[in-house]
Chain A
């Protein structure tokens, strides 16, 4: 009941979405929340908590967000906190970085991270490196967020995964939520973090609903940046993923479980700083490793994980070489049959697991 009261005490806007859901009145209430709503809620709570926080980007205000992630925020907070920008990424990313340097806490939305390439100099050179270059004088408390990676049929220029690109850069924190709990906890942590954080969301996950556990319903619920989560315990093999592929790994694990193979599925949650210790501990238990990501194989997240495993204590526990499941090494094709074969599917994960286990 305390949790129910906690929900009702929240701003009406949050509850209005929630009251449409059924929830148990007897046990602690777990809510159904889509990833979109979770990010919306997280931003809403942080906007309310700290007046220095503001959101800018294309169509974020009057249009309610290109993907409706910022729905209702402009109506609630107005022009000063939710700002529509012209189509001008380099320009508004620069303005956002300057604002962060001067003491505000901007959330800079890229309609997709493909467009962030127009502004990447601001993200890397103006935001990520500045605290280092200034020897600790100038922090840049900014969040860059938006959908990343493949969607459905949006073709080559709109489907790139930037986890490896941004994860490459020291000074930047990079998070990649999978479910609603991740999304809410990570956006809040990102906003409260005094460093530049890139949050890589996923358009296909926006509409997916998950049960939000009771602790995640609190306004102070945060997910620590730099900590992975074991979504499923297992003994035979470690499967590590981030973002949407985490769901595919769990599906694959369910199928494999019927054949007696128990996968330990790790949700990275953060790309940089990577929680390699969690992966190492798991590999030292299972002796096998498969990494899964949507991005291209060369110089990718999986490549980094494999390299670090080799360099660390877990290497000696491997009974087989670690294996990567990734996007195909081509620009994303448009035709459905080609696109389907360019992104990692559940069957690819199952195949890789079985090959690694030699079954």
Chain B
């Protein structure tokens, strides 16, 4: 993240030296506030005496970092939409635009040494966990420069301390088991429910006996968080992480959020919800818009600087997309690689007994 900020700042400096309009922005930055206190919505608490604070300090540096990250994810997801329609991306593609505050806020509240696992709607988390846009998009297009060398696809992207991206969900029972085991053994687990109101095409009210997901850990305390406000998510995450790290056992966070796209690119997303509902969320609760407003209202940035960041993000995503559509596919010889770890090479049968691929760890 710091690298990104440095890139932004150096970009601004270099533009300034070329005597472009950014010079105005550069001079103006000396008039920005360094930080600002922000009020955030109180979280609903379950089995907790106290919760995350209702005020926090947002520094200029943090604000720029979060803004840029969310814009990258937004742009990347919209680019994926486009590339899917152009058939560069195949199979399943689950986009998270609208939910940017969840992954960026989460990362802001934890350390890179913490571990994360998630479901198929993972592109945003892939980015916040440190995968480059290039490697994500190239994975979506199935090229060798992809983070999984093109072998995993959208739902199977992994990184350091990041266990994917998983395609199989539907495990309410398994979640209950996880709750029991983690509470029994006091495991430092934060269970996060990104409640975007729909399980594919089914509204939560039709699928859940109780939609108060933050209470469904039963004996596990929980928080219900405004998942559209990145500061809310950050503070709740810090609170939850601190709770776990102090040895108290697991805790649950329900992030109330929204996805603009349908469940996946095969789902138009309007047969089970109205266009008005989607539009309403965009105009009133968009996470990027909310952060932008905070930044401008608190003089942490201005419209020109943010526009520059937007332009820079656009460039980054375009370049990544360019790479993703021009990078070659993985070589056929490597079809059977990566079956076993730390194992000597062996032969793998292809579609008939005369075809053998070499499998290398």
Which residues of A come within 8 Å of B, CB atoms?
Answer: 58-59, 62-63, 66, 84-91, 114-115, 117-118, 151-158, 297, 323-330, 333-338, 341-345, 348, 351-352, 355
Contacts and interface: CB of A to CB of B under 8 A. Distances in A.
A119 B174 CA distance: 11
Contact of B351 (A59, A89, A91, A328): A328
Contacts of B171: 88, 90, 118
Contact of B152 (A66, A115, A334, A343): A334
A116 to B, nearest CB: 10
Nearest to A88: B172
B344 interface: no
Contacts of B290: none
Contacts of B170: 58, 87-89, 115, 118
Contacts of A352: 352
5 contacts: A59-B202, A155-B167, A158-B91, A323-B352, A334-B139
Contacts of B152: 155-156, 334
Nearest to A118: B170
B351 A335 contact: no
B117 to A, nearest CB: 14
B169 A336 contact: no
A115 B167 CA distance: 9
A330 B350 CA distance: 8
B329 interface: yes
Interface stretch (B23-31, B183-191, B330-338): B330-338
A341 B90 contact: no
Contacts of A66: 200
Contacts of A334: 90-91, 139, 142, 148, 150-154, 156
B247 interface: no
Contact of A343 (B91, B143, B351): B351
Contacts of A343: 351
A87 B199 contact: yes
Contacts of B355: 328
Contact of B357 (A157, A328, A355): A328
Among the interface residues A151, A158, A334, A336, which one has the most CB atoms of the partner chain B within 10 A? A334
A348 B352 contact: yes
Interface string B337-361: 0010000000011111111010000
A115 B156 CA distance: 16
Contact of B92 (A154, A328, A341, A342): A154
Interface in B299-353: 329-330, 332, 335-336, 339, 348-353
A86 B166 contact: no
A87 B351 CA distance: 34
Interface of B: 90-92, 139, 142-144, 148, 150-156, 166-174, 199-202, 206-208, 271-272, 329-330, 332, 335-336, 339, 348-355, 357
Among the interface residues A151, A153, A341, which one has the most CB atoms of the partner chain B within 10 A? A153
Given A58-B200, A115-B168, A157-B166, A355 B150 contact: no
Contacts of B168: 114-115, 117-118, 157
A153 B201 CA distance: 22
A95 B355 CA distance: 45
B332 A337 contact: yes
Among the interface residues A114, A335, A338, which one has the most CB atoms of the partner chain B within 10 A? A335
A335 B353 contact: no
A337 B329 contact: yes
**9 tightest A-B contacts by CB?**
A153-B90, A153-B91, A334-B153, A335-B142, A335-B150, A86-B207, A157-B167, A87-B170, A155-B153
A302 to B, nearest CB: 10
A59 B352 contact: no
A85 B354 CA distance: 46
B353 A324 contact: yes
B73 to A, nearest CB: 21
A344 B351 contact: yes
Given A87-B169, A336-B329, A344-B351, A154 B91 contact: yes
Contacts of B348: 328-330
A19 B168 CA distance: 40
Contacts of A87: 169-170, 172, 199-200, 202, 207
Contacts of A154: 91-92, 153
Contacts of B153: 153-155, 334
B329 A323 contact: no
Given A153-B91, A333-B151, 14 more contacts: A62-B201, A87-B169, A87-B199, A87-B200, A90-B173, A155-B154, A156-B151, A158-B92, A328-B357, A334-B152, A335-B330, A342-B351, A344-B351, A344-B352
Contacts of A156: 151-152, 156, 167
A348 B351 CA distance: 7
Nearest to A345: B351
A330 B200 contact: no
A152 B92 contact: no
B156 A157 contact: yes
Contacts of B352: 323-326, 344, 348, 351-352, 355
Contacts of B202: 58-59, 62-63, 84, 86-87
A341 B336 CA distance: 11
Contact of B91 (A84, A86, A117, A151): A151
A327 B170 CA distance: 27
A325 B355 CA distance: 10
A343 B174 CA distance: 32
A273 to B, nearest CB: 27
A328 B350 contact: yes
